[in-house]
Amino acid sequence: MPTPATIKLNSGYDMPRVGFGLWKVANDTCADQVYNAIKAGYRLFDGACDYGNEVEAGQGVARAIKEGIVKREELFIVSKLWNTFHEGDKVEPIARKQLADWGVDYFDLYYIHFPVSLKYVDPSVKYPPGWSQGNEIEFSNATIQETWTAMESLVDKKLARSIGISNFNSQLIMDLLRYARIRPAVLQIEHHPYLVQPRLIEYVQKEGLRVTAYSSFGPLSFLEFHMENADNCPRLFDSPVVQQIAAKHGKSAAQVLLRWSTQQDISVIPKSDKPYRLAENLNVLEWDLEEADIKAISALDKNLRFNDPLNYGMYVPIF
Task: Give catalytic residues, as residue numbers.
Answer: 51
Angle at CA 61, nearest 5°, toward 101 and 54?
30
Sign, CA torsion 267/167/9/92: negative
Interior angle at CA 35, CA 29 and CA 39, nearest 5 = 135
Q: Tell me if 113 is assigned to a ligand binding site.
A: yes
What residues form the annotated binding site?
113
What residues form the annotated binding site for substrate?
113
